[in-house]
Chain A
Amino acid sequence: MNIAVAIDSVPQSAVPSASEAGPAPKRIVVAYGFWIFLLSDIIMFAALFASYAVLVHSTAGGPTGARLFNQSTVAIETVCLLFSSYTCGLMSLAINSRNRLGMYLGAVITFALGAAFLTLEVREFTEMIARGATPQRSAFLSAFFTLVGCHGLHVTLGLIWLMVMMVQVPVMGFVASVQHRLLCFSLFWHALDIVWVGVFTVVYLIGVSP
Chain B
Amino acid sequence: MTDVRYDRAPGDTPSEEMQTGASSEALIYTIGLLVALILTATSFWVANTSLLWEGGVGLGLAVLAIAQMGIHLVFFLHLTTGPDSTNNVLALAFGLLIVFVVVVGSIWIVSDLNQNMLMPSAGPMSIGAQH
Contact = CB atoms under 8 A, between A and B. Distances in A.
Nearest to A99: B22
Interface string A28-56: 10111011100110110011011101100
Interface stretch (A125-133, A146-154, A183-191): A183-191
Contacts of B48: 71, 209-210
Given A49-B103, A194-B72, A24 B7 contact: yes
A54 B110 contact: yes
A30 B12 CA distance: 12
Contact of B47 (A47, A86, A208): A208
A62 B81 CA distance: 48
A198 B37 CA distance: 15
B33 A83 contact: yes
Interface residues of A, number: 57
Interface in A78-102: 78-79, 82-83, 85-86, 89-90, 92-94, 96-97
A54 B91 contact: no
Contact of A42 (B2, B62, B99): B99
Contacts of A170: none
Nearest to B50: A210
B65 A198 contact: yes
A46 B103 contact: yes
A206 interface: yes
B61 A15 contact: no
Contacts of A90: 26, 29
B120 interface: no
A137 interface: no
Given A36-B91, A46-B103, A53-B107, A194 B3 contact: no
Interface of B: 2-12, 18, 22, 25-26, 29-30, 32-33, 36-37, 40, 43-44, 46-48, 50, 54, 57-58, 61-62, 64-65, 68-69, 72-73, 76-77, 87-88, 91-92, 94-95, 98-99, 102-103, 105-107, 110
Interface of A: 15-18, 21, 24-25, 27-28, 30-32, 34-36, 39-40, 42-43, 46-47, 49-51, 53-54, 71, 75, 78-79, 82-83, 85-86, 89-90, 92-94, 96-97, 183, 186-187, 190, 193-194, 197-198, 200-202, 205-206, 208-210
9 contacts: A15-B4, A18-B7, A32-B91, A35-B92, A53-B106, A54-B110, A186-B11, A187-B11, A206-B47
